[in-house]
Amino acid sequence: MLTELGLYKLWREDPEKAQRFCRYFMAPVMRALAPSYGYGADRVPDSGGIVVAANHLSALDPAFLGIFSKRTLYCMAKIELLEVPVAGELLRWVGTYAVRRGEGDRDALRVARWVVREGHAAGFFVEGTRQQLGYPGQGHAGAAMVAIQEEVPVVPCGIDTFQWSFRNRRPCALVWGESIDLTGLPKNGRGYKEGARIVDDAILRLWRQAAEAVIAGFPEQLADGARRFGQISAGGASHVKAQPWPEEEWAESPLGPVYRGRG
Protein backbone atom coordinates (compact mmCIF):
# COMPACT_ATOMS: atom_id res chain seq x y z
CA MET A 1 0.00 0.00 0.00
CA LEU A 2 2.65 2.54 1.06
CA THR A 3 4.87 1.45 -1.80
CA GLU A 4 2.04 1.96 -4.29
CA LEU A 5 1.63 5.51 -2.95
CA GLY A 6 5.24 6.17 -3.90
CA LEU A 7 6.55 6.85 -0.38
CA TYR A 8 9.58 4.64 -0.91
CA LYS A 9 10.76 7.06 -3.62
CA LEU A 10 11.52 9.56 -0.86
CA TRP A 11 14.67 7.50 -0.34
CA ARG A 12 15.11 6.81 -4.08
CA GLU A 13 14.15 3.20 -3.35
CA ASP A 14 17.55 2.76 -1.70
CA PRO A 15 17.68 0.60 1.49
CA GLU A 16 20.89 2.34 2.56
CA LYS A 17 19.19 5.76 2.62
CA ALA A 18 16.00 4.37 4.16
CA GLN A 19 17.92 2.66 6.97
CA ARG A 20 19.94 5.78 7.76
CA PHE A 21 16.68 7.74 8.03
CA CYS A 22 15.22 5.06 10.30
CA ARG A 23 18.26 5.23 12.59
CA TYR A 24 17.68 8.96 13.02
CA PHE A 25 13.95 8.48 13.55
CA MET A 26 14.33 5.51 15.92
CA ALA A 27 16.88 7.15 18.23
CA PRO A 28 14.31 9.13 20.29
CA VAL A 29 12.01 6.09 20.30
CA MET A 30 14.81 3.94 21.69
CA ARG A 31 15.50 6.54 24.38
CA ALA A 32 12.00 5.98 25.65
CA LEU A 33 12.19 2.20 25.43
CA ALA A 34 15.44 1.28 27.16
CA PRO A 35 18.50 2.94 28.75
CA SER A 36 21.18 1.25 26.67
CA TYR A 37 24.77 1.29 25.44
CA GLY A 38 26.81 -0.39 22.77
CA TYR A 39 30.47 -1.39 23.03
CA GLY A 40 33.22 -1.95 20.47
CA ALA A 41 31.77 -0.13 17.44
CA ASP A 42 35.28 0.31 16.02
CA ARG A 43 35.49 -3.47 15.58
CA VAL A 44 32.99 -3.40 12.71
CA PRO A 45 34.81 -2.95 9.36
CA ASP A 46 33.86 0.28 7.61
CA SER A 47 33.54 -1.32 4.19
CA GLY A 48 33.52 -4.64 2.37
CA GLY A 49 31.28 -7.65 2.63
CA ILE A 50 30.74 -8.99 6.15
CA VAL A 51 28.41 -11.37 7.96
CA VAL A 52 27.05 -10.01 11.25
CA ALA A 53 26.06 -12.83 13.61
CA ALA A 54 24.07 -12.02 16.77
CA ASN A 55 22.01 -13.79 19.41
CA HIS A 56 18.27 -13.16 19.86
CA LEU A 57 16.57 -12.69 23.25
CA SER A 58 13.72 -10.20 22.79
CA ALA A 59 11.58 -8.35 20.27
CA LEU A 60 13.83 -5.33 20.78
CA ASP A 61 16.86 -7.01 19.17
CA PRO A 62 16.36 -6.16 15.47
CA ALA A 63 15.91 -2.42 16.14
CA PHE A 64 18.65 -2.54 18.78
CA LEU A 65 21.11 -4.13 16.34
CA GLY A 66 20.30 -1.58 13.65
CA ILE A 67 20.59 1.41 15.97
CA PHE A 68 24.03 0.35 17.22
CA SER A 69 25.45 -0.67 13.83
CA LYS A 70 27.42 1.84 11.79
CA ARG A 71 26.80 -0.32 8.72
CA THR A 72 23.49 -0.84 6.94
CA LEU A 73 22.39 -4.38 7.74
CA TYR A 74 20.46 -6.57 5.33
CA CYS A 75 18.72 -9.03 7.63
CA MET A 76 16.54 -12.10 7.25
CA ALA A 77 13.07 -12.08 8.81
CA LYS A 78 10.40 -14.76 8.88
CA ILE A 79 8.15 -14.44 5.86
CA GLU A 80 5.04 -14.05 8.05
CA LEU A 81 6.45 -10.79 9.43
CA LEU A 82 7.05 -9.33 5.98
CA GLU A 83 3.46 -10.11 5.03
CA VAL A 84 2.08 -7.86 7.79
CA PRO A 85 0.46 -4.76 6.19
CA VAL A 86 2.52 -1.56 6.44
CA ALA A 87 5.11 -3.03 8.88
CA GLY A 88 6.18 -5.59 6.30
CA GLU A 89 6.58 -2.89 3.66
CA LEU A 90 8.70 -0.76 5.98
CA LEU A 91 10.95 -3.72 6.74
CA ARG A 92 11.45 -4.42 3.06
CA TRP A 93 12.31 -0.77 2.45
CA VAL A 94 15.28 -1.03 4.82
CA GLY A 95 16.63 -4.18 3.17
CA THR A 96 14.95 -6.96 5.14
CA TYR A 97 14.25 -10.09 3.12
CA ALA A 98 12.17 -13.19 3.78
CA VAL A 99 13.20 -16.59 5.06
CA ARG A 100 11.00 -19.64 5.50
CA ARG A 101 12.01 -20.98 8.88
CA GLY A 102 12.41 -24.72 9.35
CA GLU A 103 12.67 -25.38 5.61
CA GLY A 104 16.36 -24.79 4.93
CA ASP A 105 15.47 -21.82 2.72
CA ARG A 106 18.18 -21.79 0.05
CA ASP A 107 16.74 -18.71 -1.66
CA ALA A 108 17.30 -16.65 1.49
CA LEU A 109 20.88 -17.88 1.71
CA ARG A 110 21.44 -16.97 -1.94
CA VAL A 111 20.28 -13.44 -1.16
CA ALA A 112 22.67 -13.28 1.82
CA ARG A 113 25.54 -14.45 -0.38
CA TRP A 114 24.71 -11.80 -2.96
CA VAL A 115 24.60 -9.13 -0.24
CA VAL A 116 28.13 -9.81 1.00
CA ARG A 117 29.46 -10.41 -2.52
CA GLU A 118 28.35 -6.88 -3.38
CA GLY A 119 30.25 -5.49 -0.38
CA HIS A 120 27.38 -5.10 2.06
CA ALA A 121 26.65 -6.47 5.56
CA ALA A 122 24.33 -9.46 5.93
CA GLY A 123 22.78 -9.74 9.38
CA PHE A 124 21.85 -13.05 11.03
CA PHE A 125 20.19 -13.90 14.32
CA VAL A 126 21.92 -17.25 14.31
CA GLU A 127 19.50 -19.19 16.57
CA GLY A 128 16.66 -18.46 14.16
CA THR A 129 14.19 -17.50 16.90
CA ARG A 130 14.09 -15.83 20.29
CA GLN A 131 15.57 -17.80 23.18
CA GLN A 132 13.39 -18.31 26.25
CA LEU A 133 15.99 -19.25 28.88
CA GLY A 134 17.84 -15.94 28.99
CA TYR A 135 21.09 -16.88 27.28
CA PRO A 136 22.19 -17.64 23.70
CA GLY A 137 21.19 -20.98 22.22
CA GLN A 138 22.92 -23.10 19.61
CA GLY A 139 23.14 -21.28 16.29
CA HIS A 140 22.38 -22.63 12.85
CA ALA A 141 25.15 -22.91 10.29
CA GLY A 142 23.73 -20.36 7.80
CA ALA A 143 25.87 -17.39 8.84
CA ALA A 144 29.06 -19.46 8.86
CA MET A 145 28.19 -21.05 5.52
CA VAL A 146 27.72 -17.67 3.82
CA ALA A 147 30.99 -16.37 5.28
CA ILE A 148 32.94 -19.48 4.24
CA GLN A 149 31.49 -19.68 0.76
CA GLU A 150 31.98 -15.99 0.01
CA GLU A 151 35.27 -15.74 1.95
CA VAL A 152 34.23 -12.77 4.06
CA PRO A 153 34.69 -12.23 7.82
CA VAL A 154 32.06 -12.83 10.48
CA VAL A 155 31.54 -9.99 12.96
CA PRO A 156 29.97 -11.51 16.12
CA CYS A 157 27.67 -9.52 18.36
CA GLY A 158 26.38 -10.29 21.85
CA ILE A 159 23.08 -8.72 22.94
CA ASP A 160 21.61 -8.67 26.46
CA THR A 161 17.91 -7.77 26.25
CA PHE A 162 16.33 -10.74 28.01
CA GLN A 163 12.89 -10.04 29.54
CA TRP A 164 12.73 -6.56 28.07
CA SER A 165 9.13 -5.55 27.36
CA PHE A 166 7.02 -2.40 27.23
CA ARG A 167 6.11 -3.06 30.88
CA ASN A 168 9.66 -3.88 31.89
CA ARG A 169 11.95 -1.36 30.20
CA ARG A 170 15.10 -2.78 31.68
CA PRO A 171 18.60 -1.52 30.72
CA CYS A 172 20.22 -3.39 27.84
CA ALA A 173 23.64 -3.65 26.22
CA LEU A 174 25.26 -4.79 23.00
CA VAL A 175 28.91 -5.74 22.46
CA TRP A 176 30.62 -6.11 19.08
CA GLY A 177 33.44 -8.60 18.71
CA GLU A 178 36.55 -8.75 16.56
CA SER A 179 36.12 -10.10 13.03
CA ILE A 180 36.45 -13.87 12.67
CA ASP A 181 38.19 -15.33 9.63
CA LEU A 182 36.66 -18.69 8.66
CA THR A 183 38.23 -18.95 5.21
CA GLY A 184 40.52 -21.80 6.26
CA LEU A 185 37.57 -24.10 6.88
CA PRO A 186 36.36 -26.48 4.16
CA LYS A 187 33.34 -25.52 2.06
CA ASN A 188 31.26 -28.47 3.17
CA GLY A 189 28.95 -29.53 5.97
CA ARG A 190 31.80 -30.26 8.35
CA GLY A 191 33.34 -26.83 7.76
CA TYR A 192 30.02 -25.03 8.20
CA LYS A 193 29.37 -26.90 11.45
CA GLU A 194 32.81 -26.02 12.81
CA GLY A 195 32.37 -22.41 11.73
CA ALA A 196 29.02 -22.24 13.51
CA ARG A 197 30.64 -23.56 16.69
CA ILE A 198 33.35 -20.87 16.52
CA VAL A 199 30.76 -18.15 15.99
CA ASP A 200 28.57 -19.50 18.82
CA ASP A 201 31.52 -19.39 21.22
CA ALA A 202 32.25 -15.77 20.30
CA ILE A 203 28.62 -14.69 20.67
CA LEU A 204 28.36 -16.39 24.06
CA ARG A 205 31.46 -14.57 25.31
CA LEU A 206 30.17 -11.23 24.04
CA TRP A 207 26.72 -11.81 25.54
CA ARG A 208 28.34 -12.43 28.93
CA GLN A 209 30.21 -9.14 28.57
CA ALA A 210 26.99 -7.33 27.68
CA ALA A 211 25.17 -8.77 30.71
CA GLU A 212 28.09 -7.90 32.98
CA ALA A 213 28.21 -4.34 31.57
CA VAL A 214 24.57 -3.82 32.55
CA ILE A 215 25.18 -5.21 36.05
CA ALA A 216 28.24 -2.95 36.45
CA GLY A 217 26.29 0.17 35.48
CA PHE A 218 27.72 0.58 31.97
CA PRO A 219 31.47 1.16 32.52
CA GLU A 220 33.32 3.36 30.04
CA GLN A 221 35.43 0.41 28.92
CA LEU A 222 35.19 -3.37 29.19
CA ALA A 223 37.97 -5.65 30.36
CA ASP A 224 38.95 -6.54 26.79
CA GLY A 225 39.27 -2.86 25.81
CA ALA A 226 35.88 -2.39 24.09
CA ARG A 227 34.80 1.20 24.63
CA ARG A 228 31.27 2.39 25.28
CA PHE A 229 29.47 4.31 22.54
CA GLY A 230 26.08 5.53 21.39
CA GLN A 231 24.37 6.10 24.73
CA ILE A 232 20.60 5.95 24.57
CA SER A 233 19.10 7.06 27.85
CA ALA A 234 15.56 6.87 29.18
CA GLY A 235 15.52 10.58 29.88
CA GLY A 236 16.94 11.59 26.53
CA ALA A 237 19.82 13.59 28.04
CA SER A 238 23.21 13.61 26.38
CA HIS A 239 24.69 12.06 29.48
CA VAL A 240 22.94 10.13 32.21
CA LYS A 241 24.78 8.41 35.03
CA ALA A 242 24.00 4.71 34.75
CA GLN A 243 23.15 2.88 37.95
CA PRO A 244 23.77 -0.84 38.49
CA TRP A 245 20.71 -3.00 38.99
CA PRO A 246 20.26 -4.65 42.40
CA GLU A 247 22.06 -7.95 42.70
CA GLU A 248 18.92 -9.82 43.72
CA GLU A 249 17.38 -9.08 40.31
CA TRP A 250 19.86 -11.39 38.63
CA ALA A 251 20.08 -15.16 38.68
CA GLU A 252 22.84 -17.54 37.67
CA SER A 253 22.25 -19.65 34.57
CA PRO A 254 24.47 -22.48 33.33
CA LEU A 255 26.13 -19.87 31.13
CA GLY A 256 26.33 -16.82 33.39
CA PRO A 257 24.16 -14.02 34.85
CA VAL A 258 20.63 -13.70 33.52
CA TYR A 259 18.20 -10.89 34.27
CA ARG A 260 15.06 -12.19 35.99
CA GLY A 261 12.99 -9.04 36.50
CA ARG A 262 11.93 -6.89 39.39
CA GLY A 263 11.17 -9.45 42.03
The domain locations on the chain are: 35-259
Please report the pLDDT score of residue 83 as a whole number.
66
Over the chain, what is the mean pLDDT? 80
Please report the pLDDT score of residue 13 as a whole number.
61
pLDDT band at 64 (very low <50, low <70, confident <90, very high): confident
**pLDDT at position 55 over 70:** yes
Taking the C-alpha atoms of residue 82 and residue 92, their distance in angstroms, rounded to an integer, is: 7
pLDDT band at 51 (very low <50, low <70, confident <90, very high): very high
Please report the pLDDT score of residue 71 as a whole number.
87
Model pLDDT for residues 191-247, shown as the tens digit of each residue? 999 999 999 999 999 999 999 999 999 999 999 999 998 643 333 333 333 333 334
| Top-level class of domain 35-259 | alpha beta
**pLDDT at position 43 over 80:** yes
Tell me if 203 sits within 8 A of 55, measured CB to CB: yes
Taking the C-alpha atoms of residue 50 and residue 139, their distance in angstroms, rounded to an integer, is: 18
Please report the pLDDT score of residue 249 as a whole number.
46
Model pLDDT for residues 125-146, shown as the tens digit of each residue? 999 888 988 899 999 999 999 9
The H or E element containing residue 191 is helix 189-215
Taking the C-alpha atoms of residue 6 and residue 110, their distance in angstroms, rounded to an integer, is: 28
Please report the pLDDT score of residue 92 as a whole number.
67
Please report the pLDDT score of residue 33 as a whole number.
82
Helix crossing, 142-150 with 106-117: angle to 10°? 40
Tell me if 169 sits within 8 A of 263, measured CB to CB: no
Model pLDDT for residues 143-186, shown as the tens digit of each residue? 999 999 999 999 999 999 998 888 888 999 999 999 999 999 99
